[in-house]
Amino acid sequence: MVMENPHQTNVVKGALHERGLRMTPQRISILSLFHNSSSGDHLSADDVHQRLTQNETPMSLSTVYRTLHLMSQMGVLRELELAEDHKHYELNPRSDESHHHLVCIRCTKTIEFKSETMQKVGEKVAKGSGFALLDCQLVIHALCPVCQRSM
């Protein structure tokens, strides 16, 4: 079920080596999982752990956490803090496909939307302060129509 994505994997491998880190089977499995997920998926650490187990590439939850964190630091994954009390991850999209989130803070219903201007603002602001951009997210907190009524 799991397909490889050698190109991306090699890119990451190179980035790891630059830091003196290694590409391991566990890291490959996690990357493959994300490459094979549909783009709207926002996976929690626990989701990732369960899917890996289903994929017959089980590993410890600690490793999942460690890897998700590392990949986010490297800009490979994107760490999302939406309305729930745990983080979610997805592949960090190339700037031109980046999307953002509109979240109902009551029922956590989430709508994705795109906005080209956002990424431009992010790049401009980061560059202006000498920062190296990793990820740029607009999160809109709001109440969905249903929750507005049930107040």
DSSP 57: -
CA distance 45 to 87: 8
CB of 56 to its own copies, least distance (A): 32
21 contributes a contact to DNA by CB under 7 A: yes
The label of the residue with tokens 């009524």 reads 149
CA distance 49 to 56: 11
Residue closer to DNA by CB (options 42, 118) is 42
19 contributes a contact to its own copies by CB under 8 A: yes
20 contributes a contact to DNA by CB under 7 A: yes
**Secondary structure of residue 9 in the 3-state scheme:** helix
Which of the listed partners (its own copies, DNA, none) does 50 bind, with a CB threshold of 5 to 8 Å by partner kind? none
According to CB under 8 A, which one of 81, 97, 107, 108 is a site residue for its own copies? 81
